[in-house]
Amino acid sequence: MSFLSAKNCIKRESIIYTYHSGRFIFSIYMNLFTDKAVIIVTCPKRLAPYLEQEVKDLGFITEETFVTGVRIYGTINDCIKLNLNLRCASQVLHSLKKFEAENADDIYNDLVDYPWENILPEPGYFSITSNVNNPTINNSMFANLRVKDAIVDRLREKRGIRPSTGSALTGAVINLFWKNENAEIFIDTSGGSLGRHGYRKIPGQAPMLEALAAATIYATQWDKRSPFVNPMCGSGTVAIEAAMIATNRRPGLFRTNYAFMHLQGYDESVYLQEDALLEKQIVDVPGLRIIATDYSARAIENARKNAIAAGVANLIDFAVCDFGKPGIWRTIG
């Protein structure tokens, strides 16, 4: 351990500890995309068992499963694979640090010393999201504001310009988890929710979330070869997800923007490699029979358009019919 007089800091391995205001503050001196940390993959409530299996099928080891997600360990490059392939997930969060905070000022004071210049590119645009349960906060937007203020002040001090911020999740996204006095800051590598798979252009009335539809199919333990019948199909989400699962079509096929693309050090070649695998892993299922019906002709028209957008229209037999009519299934297809 040796002091560097120019900056009054201690350097140990890949971390620089800077002495400031009576305490040591660490700065990242690493490759953000290849150094491992905790990854939290979130999902809607009760979908965690199906998300856990998806994560394991991709070759990851789950360290914890809870009601709204799973915890694993990996890199942001691992997050790229997860984002492109998972059907039941909502967000893929890569942990930056844990700390204690009794109030919003503690949040600001801790994060203003963090080396955001190593995370967010210049000039950059970023958004803040949060999950807050702290007795001093009655509006989570105030916590978001203090996180944003800390990052803006740090970047303005280091770069001399103010970064752009906003609510649209189109650039980098920083996520705060804060429960009681325990806080953790994450990079949200997803941005917009992964639960919406991107192919559904006409949602119809009361559409089913694509992630929920996929989990519902997983719950049936369907063998991906037996006939699959989706009565009262609405906008066709369940039938389309069934076709996608059977043929191993992944949600990443329909999305071109993720929050990880807007981080310092992003290597597009890693993404392009994972993206190319999505096409290669599609499989044919000879004789696959998926039937989707609804009594509404408009619903069937919309469902067929959504299936075309998903690239599976040729795998689904759509029909306008009353599910309650006796013998109706003998007349379909």
Comparing C-alpha atoms, which of 171, 175, 97, 117 is closest to residue 143? Answer: 175
Inter-CA distances, 97 with 22, 33, 118, 291, 304, Å: 20, 16, 14, 49, 46
Helix extents (H) in 58-206: 76-85, 104-111, 140-159
pLDDT value, residue 3: 31
> Average pLDDT in the 72-87 region?
98
Tally of CB atoms within 10 A around 276:
10
Comparing C-alpha atoms, which of 168, 87, 71, 127 is closest to residue 263? Answer: 127
Alpha-carbon gap, residue 1 to 21, rounded angstroms = 20
**Residue-wise pLDDT tens digits, 158-172:** 999 999 999 999 999
**Residue-wise pLDDT tens digits, 27-55:** 444 578 999 999 999 999 999 999 999 99
% of the chain surpassing 70 pLDDT: 89
Tally of CB atoms within 10 A around 287:
6
pLDDT value, residue 326: 60
pLDDT value, residue 206: 80
Whether the pLDDT of residue 205 is over 60: the answer is: yes
Whether the pLDDT of residue 246 is over 80: the answer is: yes
Whether the pLDDT of residue 243 is over 70: the answer is: yes
pLDDT value, residue 324: 78
Whether the pLDDT of residue 8 is over 50: the answer is: no
pLDDT value, residue 17: 39
Poorest-pLDDT segment among 86-95, 277-286, 321-330: 321-330
Mean pLDDT of the chain, nearest integer: 90
**Residue-wise pLDDT tens digits, 259-269:** 999 999 999 99
> Average pLDDT in the 62-87 region?
97
> Average pLDDT in the 319-328 region?
77
Comparing C-alpha atoms, which of 210, 189, 190, 199 is closest to residue 50? Answer: 210
> Average pLDDT in the 130-147 region?
95
Residue ranges covered by each domain of the chain: 8-42+92-188
pLDDT value, residue 30: 53
> Average pLDDT in the 235-243 region?
97
Inter-CA distances, 54 with 51, 88, 149, Å: 5, 8, 37
Instruction: Kindly indicate whether the domain formed by 8-42+92-188 is annotated with CATH number 3.30.2130.30.
Output: yes
